Structure 1
Amino acid sequence: MNWFSPYWFYPKTLLSFYWANVYLLWLLGLVPFFFFLKWVFSSHRKQTLLLSVEGLAGKRGLLVKFRFLVPLFFMMGVGCLVLAIARPQLPGSGSENFTEGVDIAIAVDISESMLARDLQPNRLEAAKNIGRRFIEGRINDRIALVAFAGETVTLSPLTTDYVSLKEYLADLSTDLVKTSGTAIGTALASCVNKLRDVPGKSRVAIIISDGDNTAGAIPPETALELARSFGVRVYTIAIGKPGSDEVVDEKTLRMLAGGPEGRFFQATDNTALTRIFDQIDHLEKSLAESARVYDMTDYYYQYLNWGILFFLMSLFLRFTFLGNLLED
């Protein structure tokens, strides 16, 4: 639309803009205030001039009232200049794009207790099956895979090779790590290590386990501090039914999920585990949508053109008889 249009001053138009420097709009309220102060101080200094103008008012009638056009146009020019430097913007047509995907590190407990059959066919196989579905639902996300018992082993660094990831997941077994125990703190630290240097803010560690921290050189509290310092969200899943032969200890997992934007989930059966991964999938997609990038188009030049026009009109009128009335 042509800049020379009243459309740019409609309230609906002004409210539709994204203002890059929105804090500058408060200057609009100061513009008339400063002109009012100028008028007050000048009226005190030039009381005789006011009488002169009043005398002219009787002679020239309506024309004398036009003397206010000069400061009015100047004030409108200043207002348009403020709108211009506040940078009104609108998203460009068809410019909506998603940012890069989420970086996710998944750590799966492969200790002997994960062979308990309170989930079908057992806890480990249930986690592998649902994890496979979770991987299939990703598009641009990079995923790393870590297995842990008394020690940790990295099966895959961050990658979008989902075919290989599913193969690594299928090969998970309790034979991969010979050291017994559950090194949850070390597992989380390993996940953070894979995520700490990646760009962006969408970094997630998912810990799947059924026990408390009983092994490893890094305490869970230290690992959580590392996650916080690198901005890694921690989702923990306690897998197993309470009261089963293999006790499910949730204390450490709940503590780890207490960080910023962390979540704790409890998978007491296969259906619950499926719902948990669906929730995590939904959480990450919601965060990705909130991080949309728009190709913004600036419209400051419309108001800059109007400002220049008002300044020129004010300058022109100042050199006519209206300017003489102001100086009289």
Structure 2
Amino acid sequence: MFENVNNLLLLTVVLAITIIFLFSFKLSRKTINEFTNSSLWNKMLTVDFFKVFLKNIFFILALIFIVIALARPKWGLKQVEAKSLSSDIVVAIDVSKSMLAQDLKPDRLTRAKIIFKDLTERLKGQRIGLIAFAGQAYWQCPLTSDVKAFEMFLSLLDTDTVPFYGTNISAPIDLACESLKKVPSNAKALVIITDGESFDGDLKSSLEEAKESQTKIFCVGIGTEKGEPIPTYENGQFKEYLKDDKGKTVVTKLDSSTLEQIALATGGRYYNMNQDQSLNNLVSVLNKLDKIEGTANIFNNLEDRYYYFLAVSLIFLLLYLFIPATKRQKVGRTEDWEKK
């Protein structure tokens, strides 16, 4: 196969040169034959037409092999070990029913997905993993340097991703800390996107685990402190607002206080999604994380073979340069002229 296939188009130029040369050579021989007979011309002319023809053929062949070399031919597999430097960031997104609230348009979850797609594209040299949580937490995308894969899993998130109702912020903390415990503290981070209302789990115990594993947690609050009722849907159509056991409409509010406590307890920071500059600061902080050497990846690459064609082209160029275009003069011819 060829790495730069487009370079093979240069062969059309070489072909045009070849056609012009053959035509001009044939035309010149025809003109000479019309001027005088071949035997007389051979005695008068020192140029050897066969050698001239041969030299030009060698030159054209050299051009052909140079063009093939420029196309970078490759064959034969070669194993290459690649090691990357990166920091590890786990993004945990709340997919509980409260994320359907529309105090941020079109709703909290959709806004979070849009904003964090943009955020991940601005990160540099990180592996990113995705956790979805509600009453429990589950990995959606393992740590990867493939941003497009992360974005694909991010786009698939909805409130049915986790089959357990409720909001348990401690669950993604436990899951992320377990995965990041062997990573140095200054090269990892957990980013949690939620409205902050946590009704399940042992948050205090999870924060202790985060501190022990030296995992900084950056919390991003989504929603408003005024709050908004939670819509419910049936067959894709709005049905009613969610009600509690007493029949009262449930209003979900942003709990900034809880999120600030989580962040401060682990050495992280709290950010409000309503503030654009706040998220710019988050990107800046994440990009400043230390980079560590990751696991080596083994790739099977096709090996470059262009140098074979360059070598052949060099041989043809040398033949072109060193083959004389004139006839070998016979010593006796000079003596014959002197006698006359």
Residue 165 of structure 2 is aligned to residue 180 of structure 1: yes
Which of 212, 233, 241 aligns to 1:229? It is 212
Q: Choose the corresponding residue for 2:151, options 139, 151, 166.
A: 166
Distance across 1 between alignment mates of 2:215 and 2:168: 19
1:255 is matched with 261
The alpha-carbon deviation at position 206 of structure 1 amounts to 0.6
| Pairwise CA distance, 1:260 | 4.3
Structure with bigger gyration radius: 2
- Is 2:129 the counterpart of 1:127? no
Q: Verify the 8 A CA contact 2:180 2:188 in the aligned structure 1.
A: yes
Query: What do residues 205-237 of structure 1 show as CA deviations (whole Å, max 9, x unaligned)?
Result: 011111322123xx1111111111111111011
Q: Identity of counterpart residues, as a percentage? A: 31
1:182 and 1:215 in contact (8 A); partners too:
yes
Match of 1:114 among 93, 99, 122: 99
Structure 2 unaligned runs (5+)? 1-83, 229-251, 293-340
Q: Which structure 2 residues correspond to residues 117-156 of structure 1 after superposition, within 5 A?
A: 117-156=102-141
Taking the aligned partners of 1:275 and 1:171, their CA distance within structure 2 comes to 27
**TM-score between the two structures when normalised by the length of structure 2:** 0.51
SS at match of 2:264: coil
Aligned residue for 1:197? 182
SS in 1 for 2:186: coil
Q: 2:283 aligns with which of 271, 281, 284?
A: 281
Secondary structure of 2:205 counterpart:
helix
Q: CA distance change for structure 1 residues 102 and 277 in 2, over 3 Å: closer, same or farther?
A: farther
**Residues 224, 259 of structure 1: 8 Å contact kept:** yes
1:243 aligns with 2:249: no
Alpha-carbon separation, structure 2, partners of 1:199 and 1:286: 14
Instruction: Give every structure 1 segment of 4 or more consecutive aligned residues whose post-TM-superposition deviation is greater than 3 Å.
Output: 286-289
Write the mapping of 1:1-328 to structure 2, written as runs, cut at 5 A.
100-199=85-184, 201-216=186-201, 219-245=202-228, 246-267=252-273, 269=274, 272=275, 274-288=276-290
Shift in alpha-carbon separation, 1:248–1:200, aligned structure 2, 3 A: closer
Contact 1:157 1:194 in 2 (8 A): no
Q: Please give the per-residue CA displacement for 1:13-62, whole angstroms capped at 9, x wherever unaligned.
A: xxxxxxxxxxxxxxxxxxxxxxxxxxxxxxxxxxxxxxxxxxxxxxxxxx
Residues 111 and 260 of structure 1, relative CA distance in 2, 3 Å threshold: closer
Per the TM alignment, residue 154 of structure 1 is displaced from its structure 2 partner at its CA by 0.6
Point out the structure with the larger helix share: 1
Uncovered stretches (5+) of structure 1, i.e. residues with no partner: 1-98, 292-328
Aligned-partner residue type, residue 259 of structure 1: A
> For residue 280 of structure 1, what is the amino acid of its counterpart?
L
Deviations 1:174-200 (A, max 9, x none): 011121110101111111122112356
Quick one: structure 1 residues 200 and 254, their matched pair in 2 at CA, closer, same or farther if it must change by over 3 Å? closer
The CA distance in 2 between the partners of 1:201 and 1:100, in whole Å, is 14
Task: Kindly state the Cα deviation for residue 280 of structure 1 after the two structures are TM-superposed.
Answer: 1.1
Q: How many residues align?
A: 186
Preserved CA contact (<8 Å) 1:185 1:220:
yes
Partner of residue 86, structure 1: none
Q: 1:221 to 1:200 in 2, by over 3 A?
A: closer
Q: Structure 1 or 2: larger strand share? A: 2
Distance 1:102 1:255 in 2: 24
